[in-house]
Amino acid sequence: MIAAGGFRDGRGLVAALAYGAAGVAMGTRFLLTSDSTVPDAVKARYLAAGVQDVIVTTKVDGLPHRMLRTDLVDALERSGRSAALLRAFRHASAFRRESGMSWAGLVRDGLAMKHGKQLTWSQVLLAANTPMLLRAAMVDGRTDLGVMACGQVGGLIDDLPSCAELVERIMAQAHATLGRLPTLSREHSGAAGGRCAPGVAQRAGLADPQ
Ligand SMILES: Cc1cc2nc3c(=O)[nH]c(=O)nc-3n(C[C@H](O)[C@H](O)[C@H](O)COP(=O)(O)O)c2cc1C
């Protein structure tokens, strides 16, 4: 089991291991590295965001998505149903052009998507919004025209280390956290020499803190 969602440091890694996970996946944290190929203007928007700037909206494609709060997302939140459908139709057309698909192919995919789920045609149409709007921001750097998906931890991240620096930092934090646990364990239980986390350390491939 790989734990995912909300992890950004070594403390989270140790916590997930303590819960029995084999490891963690980090999305937003690795998006915000100097190695990530996302345009700098986009990274700057993420770095500037605080926890209040990350919201959940259903207005992009009818499903809940967590993303940075921008003027566009605010406008989507305010927009009515017909504006949403018109936008969805435009995005479906653009998606069709860029993917080289025929309208018949797009309708076939839509039917497959509808099958077994109780989706209306307008929901199927809205599904084209997400890839087009994500791409506009994350690939083309148009923070005004696109949406920026973001984990809740986005509000807590304010630097752009390289991936190598980040992994080293996470491991150092994990070691430091594990090193503190025996002291915490002694304080809380009063037991002598409480090395409380050897299993956790082994699962992480970390040296057992002595
Ligand atoms: C740029 C970006 C794109 C994402 N795209 C999708 C997606 O297409 N579908 C999806 O289910 N989740 C998507 N997510 C959400 C992530 O899968 C994940 O649930 C979320 O980022 C929380 O994990 P984190 O705290 O490690 O970032 C995306 C997240 C980011 C940052």
What is the structure's pLDDT at 204? 56
**C-alpha count within 13 angstroms, C-beta hemisphere, residue 72:** 17
Residue nearest to atom 5 of ligand 1 (CA): 149
pTM for the full predicted model? 0.80
Expressed in angstroms and rounded, the spacing between residue 4 Cα and the centre of ligand 1 is 10
Expressed in angstroms and rounded, the spacing between residue 27 Cα and the centre of ligand 1 is 6
Expressed in angstroms and rounded, the spacing between residue 115 Cα and the centre of ligand 1 is 25
CA proximity to 133, closest of 64, 61, 189: 61
Amino acid at 148: M
* Ranges of residues in the chain whose predicted pLDDT is under 50: 194, 196, 208-210
Q: Which of 46, 53, 150 to mutate to test the pocket of ligand 1 (most atoms within 8 A of CB)?
A: 150
How does pLDDT run across 4-25, given as a tens digit for each residue?
A: 999 999 999 999 999 999 999 9
CA proximity to 204, closest of 3, 27, 9, 14: 14
> Does residue 150 line the site of ligand 1, with CB under 6 A?
yes
What is the structure's pLDDT at 200? 58
> Does residue 76 line the site of ligand 1, with CB under 6 A?
no
CA proximity to 124, closest of 82, 88, 77, 176: 88
What is the structure's pLDDT at 140? 92
What is the structure's pLDDT at 210? 41
